Structure 1
Amino acid sequence: MADRRAVLVPGQAYDTQAPLFAYIGEALRRSDFDLHEISWQVPETPGQDQIGAWVAEQVAPSLNEPTDLVVGKSLGSLAAPLAAERQVPAVWLTPLLHMPGVVTALERATEPFLLIGGGADPLWDGPLASRLTRHVLEILDADHSLLVPGPMVASADALGRVCMAVEEFVRITSV
């Protein structure tokens, strides 16, 4: 039986079975986490002012049980206000740092969080990420899926770096 519980929050078109979550999930299992994977069907045309409330509706019930870590991808980072409010450490994969609600939540978070993004992702803001936390991994040529152009070995290497960063974050923050 695992000692800790992690909630995995998908992106808009990136579910918890996709490569980042599959490998991070395995890394967390090996670190004695039970995983709770959220799945959802994102409404087709949610307004930007409504999508945050919709994400909170989807994620909040999963946080009613004791939770030691939240891992969210892109749209899932709209759960940052919940993680901050409930004082849960988090890993945010390609977080939506252009959305004020996400940034505000990260600024008020009292628990550590890791931000991971790609330098070729137009939604990533590396300097802002570094101002928000000392726990940052930026994959320079990676896109919003953290894929790197060229031979797939470069993307596999990036995935390995993401897993190492998550394992290190969990280890050093005693999450």
Structure 2
Amino acid sequence: MSPRRRAAILLPGRNYGVQGPLLMFSHVAVQSRGVRTFPVTWSPPSNLTEDPQRMVDWVSDEVTKILNKIETDDPPLLIGKAVGTAAAGVAASAGLPAIWFTPLLHHYPVVQAMRRSAAPFLLVGGSDDPYWKPELAKSLTSFICEVKGADHGMFLRGRPLADSAMALSQVVKAVESFLDTEVWPRHG
């Protein structure tokens, strides 16, 4: 297979690594489609989220360094969780498709970057996540997966754990559908 084949970059949150279920299942989903994955490990400054523009600048610098090191035939897919969604500006500037889990829709620079994006992106959030803004999300993209009752960690608190697993199943289906119809449609 060509060394320049498709690629996906997995961007963690502040306290949510690439081994977390949202990113781990996305990792498997893209790999099963023959995509090289680049899981990122980072240690953001502890007060990073206090200043939205500083967060965007720091994440953008980290992601740009990674993009400069990889070669692909197609624009790479960015997949980010929370703080990772601060890479929306990089995605918009470079025309990269994206999947954004629990996006930080309360931060103006993140929202403005998403507004500029011409490439398709999927937003995944929970109705009980204080950072999820359903009407705003719908104004940014038609690719939405909202999990009723899910918090910022995509858990359904106070309910049986199996309910959170079912919510994860809903998210995985949305991710695979987005990959197969928008990012890498299968040609028959």
TM-score by shorter chain over 0.5 = yes
2:139 equivalent in structure 1: 131
SS in 2 for 1:32: coil
Which has the larger displacement, 25-34 or 129-138? 25-34
Q: 2:178 aligns with which of 163, 169, 172?
A: 169
TM superposition score normalised by structure 2: 0.89
Shift of the alpha carbon at 1:160?
1.0
C-alpha separation in 1, matches of 2:181 and 2:21? 24
C-alpha separation in 2, matches of 1:45 and 1:70? 24
2:113 equivalent in structure 1: 105
User: Which ranges of structure 1 fall in alignment gaps of 5 or more residues?
Assistant: none
Larger Rg: 2
SS in 2 for 1:173: helix
C-alpha separation in 2, matches of 1:140 and 1:167? 20
C-alpha separation in 1, matches of 2:132 and 2:47? 23
Q: Note the alpha carbon deviations across 1:110-146, whole angstroms, 9 max, x for none.
A: 1000000000000100111011111000001000011
Which has the larger displacement, 44-53 or 18-27? 44-53
Shift of the alpha carbon at 1:68?
2.3
2:14 equivalent in structure 1: 12
Q: Post-superposition, which runs of at least 4 consecutive aligned residues in structure 1 deviate over 4 A?
A: none
AA of the residue aligned to 2:93: E
C-alpha separation in 1, matches of 2:32 and 2:11? 19
TM superposition score normalised by structure 1: 0.95
Q: Note the alpha carbon deviations across 1:66-92, whole angstroms, 9 max, x for none.
A: 342100000111100001101100000
SS in 2 for 1:77: helix
C-alpha separation in 2, matches of 1:152 and 1:32? 32
2:54 equivalent in structure 1: 50
AA of the residue aligned to 2:156: V
Shift of the alpha carbon at 1:148?
1.1
Contact kept, 8 Å, 2:126 with 2:150, in 1: the verdict is yes
Shift of the alpha carbon at 1:53?
1.0
Shift of the alpha carbon at 1:174?
3.6
Contact kept, 8 Å, 2:125 with 2:132, in 1: the verdict is yes
Number of aligned residues:
175
Q: 1:62 aligns with which of 41, 50, 66?
A: 66
SS in 1 for 2:146: strand
1:147 equivalent in structure 2: 155
Query: Is 2:162 the partner of 1:160?
Result: no
AA of the residue aligned to 2:23: F
2:27 equivalent in structure 1: 25
Query: Is 2:122 the partner of 1:114?
Result: yes
Contact kept, 8 Å, 2:120 with 2:183, in 1: the verdict is no
SS in 2 for 1:61: helix
Which has the larger displacement, 14-23 or 88-97? 14-23
